[in-house]
Structure 1
Amino acid sequence: MNTVTQGPKFVVSEAEGVWLWDDNGDRYLDGTASLWYCNVGHGRTEIADAVYRQISTLDAYTVYGDFANEPALQLSERLAAHAPVADPRVILTCGGGEAVDTAAKLARRYWAAQGQPERGHLISRTGGYHGLHGFGTSMIGMDRFRTGFGRLIEDTSVVAHDSVEALEEEILRVGPERVAAYFAEPIIGAGGVYAPPEGYFEGVAQLCRRYGILFIVDSVICGFARMGNWFGIERFGVRPDMIVFAKGVSSGYLPLGGVITSGEVAEPFWNRPGNPFVHGTTYAGHPTCCAAAMANLDILEREDLFTVSLEIETQLDSAVQTLADHPLVREVRSGVGVMAAVELTTEALEQRGITTSEVFTEARARGVVLRAIPHSLLISPPLIITWEQIDHLVSTLRAALDAVDQRH
């Protein structure tokens, strides 16, 4: 905040396709689909029209108790039909962080309903990002998001993101009888774009079954064609107990998220009287947001962005790997999903005092918007990006790296 107050603001005034315009009329390539969410690109009139039609008919109304609306019902049925979860049920929320907290509470409440209230511990991974609500902040795998807030939810722990053995060691340390659930993203996104080692999720799924732990997949970043399928986790052939989703479900046109849970997890609440899951939010199931999501999913399917994204994944990987030889670059991570990370060397960051923010600023000055985290530049463009636009993005990032290298 202090840094932002020292200079002019970057005011985004217009967007179309993969492009943004600021209030001076200058154009920029949106290299991150805003915050990983604008999968179908900006300015889709089909979504705007769907929002207008819905808000003109039924703008909003609660879905508490037995209240419902057609867009919420239709969206839930559509998502359940594609979810790699046994006998799926859907809980709608207003975004990813809210959905993570819903899943965490549901996991704990499930075990209490099963007569095992001591099973409240939640395990997550280093680098994992699960939003910044209460449970999400407590489980996040990056210390900078946890410090300075006092005591958070304490029955949580974080294990190495690439080790099934580390997860089992932590389960045994805590005690399997105390562990409620394990949270993991299919690809760690905001923490630096880390793909799992071969066989990782198969091993995790087996481990969770062995110890009776709920396996919860956070697909907020990875879903809705960013990995060539509906929820990302399908790439690894496993079936979790719950899936958390948001972002690409509406391509960010209106806020929406949710949890898809297995019938087994839903059973105590659906089939046993007097045993409610006492949880909900004011705008969950918002009909206008659900209408936007339905129009967005129509685009994903009509334009087959599930297949297109696999082609873009290969093109992006080929292009961004050319940066691996740059003197400031330690590692390029890409090749699974339409996302990539360009990590700077330890020498650049620590000895030379270079920051990723400098590279971000140089890229933006040249017309490309990326995402800077402490050690890497992140890339996650809209799924409608072309090969020429990918080449422009990568060549601009190289020019930004060159400028920073020369300055230091």
Structure 2
Amino acid sequence: MSKANGGLTEEELKSFWMPFSTNRLYKAAPHFLREASGLYFKSDKGQRVMDAVSGLWCCSLGHGRKEIAQAVYEQLCTLDYAPSYQLSHELPFKLSRRLLNYLPDDFSQVFYVNSGSEAAETALKMALAYHQLSGKTEKVRLIGRELGYHGAGFGAISVGGIPNNSRLFPNQLQFTDRLPVARGDNPFIKGEPERDDTQAEKLLELIEKYSAETIAAVIVEPVSCSGGVLVPPEGYLKRLREICTEHDILLIVDEVICALGRLGHPFSSVERFGVIPDFITTAKSLANGVIPLGAVFVRSGIYDVFLSKSDTLVDFFHGYTFTANPAACAAAMACMDIAEREGLYYRASELESYWEQAVHSLRGSPHVKDIRNLGLLAGIELVPAPGELPGYRTWQLFRNCFEKGVLVRANGEVLALCPPLIIETSDIDYIINVLSDELGKLK
């Protein structure tokens, strides 16, 4: 047993196949997280590490919230599990109504899942089934976007646009295509790039190619976070909505990361971008990363078709064993209590200007190719390291920042930032200072 391995044996260290990770490099020099509170993790070496990425885009309320832990504990002591097939418990109904209060009356239903991946799969299946029940049986094609990310399932990678996520997996969904990347033409744009409807209007080219009668749905993120924090031009979502409405195509907006305060509103597609999608998916911050929980918000007209057109007793043949898990619902209710009491759904709007100026102060630092931001999100794109595998330089920066007490996220050649919504301006300064120092040391 080695102290350098966090007290694990070599056999134990080898046994966990870590997801989306450089296992061979990590296990040669592992770091471990032992505790978490507020903005900070504590490592196995006793070091405090500021969380500048909300765990994995999900711990928006910060860590160690005793109110959430207490709610989960009390729920587990009362009702630890309840099936959602033909039976349920009260919490998902209460949680649904509370969440729907933040959306227009167009939305009437919430379908619970366990992750953002499952939320995307569910929305895609709902879209296909809706058209089948409506008698539009040729509407089978699904449109995603290049560098989009909607999870790791086969439906999600079929419409997603990050090449490494799909290149080793043949036999994906047959009837799919992708819009081009939506982003500004120039580097170092602050916030949304200037309006450019030609990017959204690429959908018209796909409609001409396939015919609107064959396209079931379009799925996009407000910001392509895992694709590199790519911010579409102003008006992009609105123009997509107009085209989808005109051609009877359903619009799915994936707010797994962007909902619940990340862009300064509970639901950014509606409040920040002025769009009413047919489906909104969310997950990560719904239970603050404490317990897996995701949700699909559905417009009432779509739900009504399932009720009125189904020729079986079961409305929708889809669901999961852990749908609306009691402890997960209790965690989400406690998260809403905290966010509402502390005004965290709108905190990003208050900090956005300061955050923007801070992250763009890194322009001119060694190796920095571009910086993008919106809300409390930022992506710092680096020049690739010559002679190394793609992403090696950002991986180095990730490791070095951790050693200096800041956790960031390496996404290919982009360093992503997504701090908890409880962050203060002094904390932002600390993150930027560490990044500036470590960028200067990179070769």
Return the TM-score normalized by structure 2: 0.88
Q: Residues 150-165 of structure 1: matches in 2 within 5 Å? A: 150-162=170-182, 163-165=199-201
> Do the aligned residues in 2 keep the contact of 1:331 with 1:344 (CA within 8 Å)?
yes
Q: Which residue of 2 aligns with 1:249?
A: 286
> Do the aligned residues in 1 keep the contact of 2:107 with 2:297 (CA within 8 Å)?
no
Instruction: Check if 1:222 corresponds to 2:242.
Output: no
Residue from 229, 247, 251 that aligns with 1:193? 229
CA distance in 2, matches of 1:265, 1:243: 13
Describe the SS at the equivalent of 2:34.
strand
Q: Which residue of 1 aligns with 2:424?
A: 386
- Any stretches of 5+ residues in structure 1 without a counterpart? none
Q: Residues 231-242 of structure 1: matches in 2 within 5 Å? A: 231-233=267-269, 234-242=271-279
Q: Which residue of 1 aligns with 2:73?
A: 52
C-alpha deviation, 1:9, in angstroms: 2.1
Instruction: Check if 1:324 corresponds to 2:363.
Output: yes
Q: Which residue of 2 aligns with 1:264?
A: 301
> Do the aligned residues in 2 keep the contact of 1:125 with 1:161 (CA within 8 Å)?
yes
CA distance in 2, matches of 1:80, 1:271: 23
CA RMSD of aligned residues (A): 1.5
CA distance in 1, matches of 2:364, 2:157: 36
Q: Residues 389-408 of structure 1: matches in 2 within 5 Å? A: 389-404=427-442, 408=443
> Do the aligned residues in 1 keep the contact of 2:115 with 2:283 (CA within 8 Å)?
yes
Residue from 363, 388, 394 that aligns with 1:356? 394
CA distance in 2, matches of 1:273, 1:29: 51
Name whichever of 9-18 and 84-93 sits farther off. 84-93
Higher helix proportion: 1
Q: Which residue of 2 aligns with 1:202?
A: 238
Q: Residues 293-312 of structure 1: matches in 2 within 5 Å? A: 293-312=332-351
Q: Residues 163-174 of structure 1: matches in 2 within 5 Å? A: 163-174=199-210
- Any stretches of 5+ residues in structure 2 without a counterpart? 1-21, 183-198
Name whichever of 53-62 and 5-14 sits farther off. 5-14
Q: How many residues align?
A: 401
Q: Which residue of 1 aligns with 2:376?
A: 338
Residue from 10, 14, 17 that aligns with 2:38? 17
The one-letter code matched in structure 2 to 1:370 is V
Q: Which residue of 1 aligns with 2:130?
A: 110
Describe the SS at the equivalent of 1:216.
strand
C-alpha deviation, 1:90, in angstroms: 0.8
> Do the aligned residues in 2 keep the contact of 1:355 with 1:374 (CA within 8 Å)?
no
C-alpha deviation, 1:53, in angstroms: 1.2
C-alpha deviation, 1:327, in angstroms: 2.9
Name whichever of 85-94 and 292-301 sits farther off. 85-94
CA distance in 1, matches of 2:174, 2:428: 43
CA distance in 1, matches of 2:153, 2:310: 31
Describe the SS at the equivalent of 2:362.
helix
> Do the aligned residues in 1 keep the contact of 2:397 with 2:439 (CA within 8 Å)?
yes
The one-letter code matched in structure 2 to 1:148 is L
Instruction: Check if 1:123 corresponds to 2:160.
Output: no
Q: Which residue of 2 aligns with 1:285?
A: 324
Residue from 399, 405, 414 that aligns with 1:376? 414
Q: Which residue of 1 aligns with 2:194?
A: none
The one-letter code matched in structure 1 to 2:32 is V
Return the TM-score normalized by structure 1: 0.95
C-alpha deviation, 1:76, in angstroms: 1.0
1:82–1:2: structure 2 CA closer, same or farther, 3 Å change rule? closer
1:261–1:166: structure 2 CA closer, same or farther, 3 Å change rule? same
CA distance in 1, matches of 2:104, 2:352: 22
C-alpha deviation, 1:8, in angstroms: 3.0
Name whichever of 351-360 and 186-195 sits farther off. 351-360
C-alpha deviation, 1:352, in angstroms: 8.3
Q: Deviations over 1:64-102 (max 9, x none)?
A: 12x121111111111122124614211011111011100
1:203–1:331: structure 2 CA closer, same or farther, 3 Å change rule? same
The one-letter code matched in structure 2 to 1:330 is K
1:403–1:199: structure 2 CA closer, same or farther, 3 Å change rule? same
Name whichever of 3-12 and 308-317 sits farther off. 3-12
Percent of paired sites with the same residue? 36
Instruction: Check if 1:100 corresponds to 2:120.
Output: yes
The one-letter code matched in structure 2 to 1:285 is A
CA distance in 2, matches of 1:237, 1:355: 38
The one-letter code matched in structure 1 to 2:339 is L
CA distance in 2, matches of 1:6, 1:304: 40
The one-letter code matched in structure 2 to 1:308 is R
Q: Deviations over 1:215-268 (max 9, x none)?
A: 010000001111111122121101000001101111111110011111111112
CA distance in 1, matches of 2:136, 2:127: 11
> Do the aligned residues in 2 keep the contact of 1:93 with 1:258 (CA within 8 Å)?
yes
C-alpha deviation, 1:6, in angstroms: 4.5
